[in-house]
Amino acid sequence: MIRVLLADESARIIENLSKRLGQEEDLTVCAIAGDGDTALQEALRTQPEVAVVDAGLPGMDGIQTTEMLVQYLPNTGVILLSMEAENEAFRRAMLAGAREFLQKPFSGDELVAAIRRVHTYGLRKGTPASSPAAGAGAGGAPAPGGKLFTVVGAKGGVGKSAIAANLAVSLGRTCRVALVDCSLQFGDIGILLDVTAERTIADLAANNAVADHDVVEEVMVDGPGGVRVLAAPVRPELADYVTTQHLRGLMEQLRRTYDCIVVDTATHLSEISLDLVEMADKVLVITDLSATGVKNARLLQTVMGVLKVDPGRFVLVINHRDGAGELERGYVETVLKTAATVEIPYDPNVVATSIARGVPFVLSQPQSQPALRIAGLADLLAPASAGHTRPDADPAPPDPPSPKRRRRLGMGRARSDQAAASD
């Protein structure tokens, strides 16, 4: 049973929310409050799993109440309600430590879904698999094995996927690289590298095969430059098969096989993308120099701060998208309070041609400025002297798999219609 505290100045709203939550078998209202001081006192008394707090509480307002709850009851997830414009209210909610934000008016179903998400997230954060000792969690040491580089962007159109693809190929010159497309609904890695995968990450998840080395290798396909690619699902609805538990098992398996794993993520924030950030050795934040791009990058930093992700694991990459309407780099670095590690110049003849042909520009035009900057980033992330296996080093082949343990994926639920028809 998920125990919920409701805090709102309006008795009518409290009554309506209580009635709606009372319709759910797994939810119960353990306390109510009409002001911030009472909300904190009731929370300390009842220890709810989730607190639903209105930003406009009298006395100690909802932001202050959230901060106090986060400080004194870290196991209580807070959902902040507000009438304010979404971006500003979301920023304030994340700074205060809230785990979810709902803008009024909202439906009862939206509130119920948010409560369950917050509760599930709290359970996950409390499990050994998500503790700092188990991986590169918030403030924890990186997991052993290959390095995991998670590529994120707070805005579409900043070149995030193109950078992830070219970075993987550049890294592949000196070490064994896996490129995983975790933009699960609308992944672009296959198009950018001109590769077609019969099976995808959704097949691994649907068949519970994420930790099976042989099956994972069977599903991955060869990309340019020797990179091994794990494709995104072929249809958006198949993304639902993939959970954070699947990804943790998959990344653990890939770390044992590859020197470097590059993961492309979806633009929107989700439990999966945030989990991939927490697992990463380095997080590459991609932004252009547009006002909206920088604003969203700052909001992304705020969320990462709330999750207590070590700022030392972040790498800021500025990708020029055009020559007009851009902010000054120095101003952007001041706003983001971070110095850019790499600045990729705008060259449409290089980048646009690469995307249209499905050939990474680090291969097609290796002496171009964008390619040289990506190569420099690759050297910074994984120096060749760090003991990685070069493709030309002729390493000893792995032991052949045992025939009786090797298995092929069945025709699981995540197969595309086309793939199923071709069997």
Task: Answer whether residue 360 shows pLDDT above 80.
Answer: yes
Can you give the pLDDT at residue 58?
92
CA geometry: angle 258, 261, 267, nearest 5 deg: 165
The pLDDT score that the predictor gives to residue 89 is 66
pLDDT tens for 408-420 read: 555 344 444 433 3
Do residues 156 and 261 both lie within one domain?
yes
Range of the domain at 330: 138-391
Q: What confidence tens digit (pLDDT) does each residue in 297-318 have? A: 887 877 777 667 788 888 999 9
pLDDT tens sequence across 266-295: 887 777 888 898 889 999 999 988 888 888
For residue 422 the two structure tokens come to: 């071709």
Q: What share of the chain is helix, strand, coil (3-state, %, to 5)?
A: 45, 15, 40
Highest-scoring range by mean pLDDT, 111-125, 170-184, 272-286, 294-308: 170-184
Residue 132 vs residue 74, higher pLDDT: 74
Average pLDDT over residues 387-402: 43
Residues 275 and 339 in one domain: yes
Residues 154 and 105 in one domain: no
pLDDT of residue 416: 41
Would you say residue 423 lies in a domain?
no
* Residue linked to tokens 């590059």: 262
pLDDT tens-digit readout, 330-344: 888 898 888 889 999
Tens of pLDDT along 39-87? 998 998 899 999 999 999 998 899 989 988 887 788 899 999 988 765 6
Instruction: State how far the Cα of 260 lies from the Cα of 168, in Å rounded to an integer.
Output: 8
Q: Which of 120, 89, 118 is nearest to 102 (CA)?
A: 89
Place of tokens 């009518």: 12
The amino acid that residue 352 corresponds to is A
DSSP letter assigned to residue 287: E
- The 8-class DSSP code of residue 92 comes to H
Residue 388 is predicted with a pLDDT of 47
Q: Which has the higher per-residue pLDDT, 170 or 404? A: 170
pLDDT tier, 92 (very low <50, low <70, confident <90, very high otherwise):
confident
CA–CA gap between residue 125 and residue 91 (Å, rounded): 22
* Predicted local distance difference test score (pLDDT) of residue 415: 42
Q: Tokens for 72, please give them.
A: 């004194």
Please name the residues in contact with 249: beta carbons below 8 A apart, sequence gap of 6 or more: 210, 211
Total length of the chain: 423
* Direct distance between the N- and C-terminal alpha carbons of the chain, in angstroms, rounded to an integer: 46
What does the alpha-carbon distance between residue 130 and residue 107 come to, in Å, rounded to a whole number? 31
> Does 126 score more than 90 pLDDT?
no
pLDDT of 306 reads 66
Q: Give the separation between CA 242 and CA 197, rounded to whole angstroms.
A: 17
Q: What is the pLDDT of residue 305?
A: 73
Residue 207 within a domain: yes
- At 323 the pLDDT is 61
CA distance 137 to 143: 9
The string of DSSP codes covering 16-71 is: HHHHHHTTSTTEEEEEEESSHHHHHHHHHHH--SEEEEETT-SSS-HHHHHHHHHH
| pLDDT value at 394 more than 80 | no
Q: Which residue has the higher pLDDT, 16 or 326?
A: 16
pLDDT of 409: 55
Tell me: do 77 and 106 sit in the same domain. yes
In one-letter notation, the amino acid at residue 298 is: R
pLDDT of 367 strictly over 80: yes
List phi, psi (to 5°) of 331. -65, -40
Q: Is residue 27 part of a domain?
A: yes
Residue that finishes a domain, picked among 121, 151, 167: 121
Task: Encode pLDDT of 235-252 as tens digits.
Answer: 888 888 888 889 999 999
Q: Give dist(CA 232, CA 171) in Å, integer.
A: 21
User: What pLDDT score does 332 carry?
Assistant: 87
What is the layout of strands, in order, in the sheet containing 228-230? 221-222, 228-230, 177-182, 260-265, 147-153, 282-287, 314-319, 342-344
% the chain with pLDDT above 70: 83
The per-residue pLDDT of the chain, averaged, comes to 82
Supply the pLDDT for residue 237: 86
Same domain, 311 and 384: yes
Residue type, 255: R
Q: How far is CA 65 from CA 51, 114, 171, in A?
A: 10, 19, 47
Q: What CA–CA distance (Å, rounded) separates 167 from 381?
A: 10
pLDDT at position 96 is: 77
Structural domain count of the chain: 2
Residues 37 and 68: their CA atoms lie apart, in Å, by 10
The residues pairing with 287 across neighbouring beta strands, listed in sequence order, are: 318
Tens of pLDDT, residue by residue over 4-14, are 999 999 999 99
DSSP label at 231? Answer: P
* Residue 92 and residue 64 in one domain: yes
213 and 334 co-located in one domain:
yes
Question: What's the pTM value of the predicted model, to 2 decimals?
Answer: 0.63
**What does the alpha-carbon distance between residue 105 and residue 83 come to, in Å, rounded to a whole number?**
8
Whether residue 105 has a cis bond before it, omega within 30° of 0: yes
CATH code: domain of residue 22:
3.40.50.2300
Give the pLDDT score at 115: 94
> What is the biggest distance separating any 2 CA atoms in the chain, rounded to whole angstroms?
73
Last residue within a domain, chosen from 121, 153, 170: 121
Whether the CB-CB separation of 134 and 126 falls below 8 Å is answered with no
Residues 73, 148 within the same domain: no
Work out the percent of the chain whose per-residue pLDDT is above 90: 45
- Over 90: is that where the pLDDT of 390 sits? no
Residue 412 within a domain = no
Of 412, 374, 406, nearest in space to 169 by CA: 374
Whether residue 202 sits in one domain with residue 277: yes
The pLDDT of 84-92, averaged and rounded, is 68
Same domain, 365 and 226: yes
Residues 248 and 277 in one domain: yes
Quick check: 190 and 294 in contact, CB under 8 A? Answer: no
